Amino acid sequence: MDTQNQLSTLLEQTQEIAKNVGSFIRKERQHFSADKVEHKGFNDLVSYVDKEAEKMIVAALSKILPEAGFITEEGTNSTQADQYNWVIDPLDGTTNFIHGIPVFAVSIALMEYDEVILGVVYEVNRHECFYAMKGGGAFCNDTKIKVSSAPDLSASLIATGFPYYNFELIDKYLFALKIFMQKTHGIRRFGSAATDLCYVAAGRIEGFFEYNLNSYDVAAGALIVQEAGGAVTDFSGGKNYIFGREIIASNHHIQEDFTKEIQTIWQ
């Protein structure tokens, strides 16, 4: 991207795309029927809403940055480019959507080489648009957001996601629940990783961790956390959280202790 102004314009356009697709998703939820659900795998659900939303996003993004490639959940366009790639989850929280639980979001990120430079997460039900660009701070509906100031785990609320098809690590998750129930204000499972990350960024929760996620689940939210002053790593404390299928995000103050607890659990 040649200038910050160009990136800022792209960010505004991406927000509008996410909001428009969010309106489509909200409308479809009003008369959605469970018989329209398909199974990509065990407990891996998808509907025509996911697929149509992704088509809408890809078509719109192709117009505003034609040279960019795509990493998409539903495979609408999986042609990647050398420099720029959009990373898209058209409906993060599909199971919530199917069951009528009001926590699901549209997630769109733009990567330049291996770095996320733009992120938008539109939480459909609360009409909250979280967004950030590299070096520009993080916002929700035009209001700047920042992570909480909670100093330690004992003052923290933690979110996670549970295994729903790969149960090899279920004992580790159960042990994590035991540990964090005793050492924090509690644990929440909202069902949308993109939303979880934005809640860390907005200071509503102090930490989030999950294993077996995909790039499109976390790319946008991870940047929003970082631009809100938070910390994001993989379970080893490294930087492989976009494609490494594991992520820890926090308000930064608790990151060291939070990471140590997770590493102990995962050993």
Asked whether 246 and 213 are in contact (CB, 8 A), the reply is yes
Contacts of 208 (CB under 8 A, 6+ apart): 158, 159, 160, 193, 196, 197, 199, 200, 247, 248, 249, 250
- According to the annotation, is 217 in a ligand binding site? yes
DSSP SS3 for 47: strand
Q: Rounded to an integer, what distance in angstroms lies between the CA atom of residue 160 and that of residue 166?
A: 15
DSSP SS3 for 257: helix
Which amino acid type is present at position 23? S
- According to the annotation, is 92 in a ligand binding site? yes
HSE of 72, CA atoms in CB hemisphere, 13 A: 22
Paired sense of beta strands 143-145 and 138-140, if any: antiparallel
Asked whether 225 and 205 are in contact (CB, 8 A), the reply is no
- According to the annotation, is 89 in a ligand binding site? yes
Burial class (CB in 10 A: 0-12, 13-18, 19+), 8: middle
Task: Enumerate the known binding-site residues.
Answer: 73, 89, 91-92, 217
Task: Enumerate the known binding-site residues for Mg(2+).
Answer: 73, 89, 91-92, 217
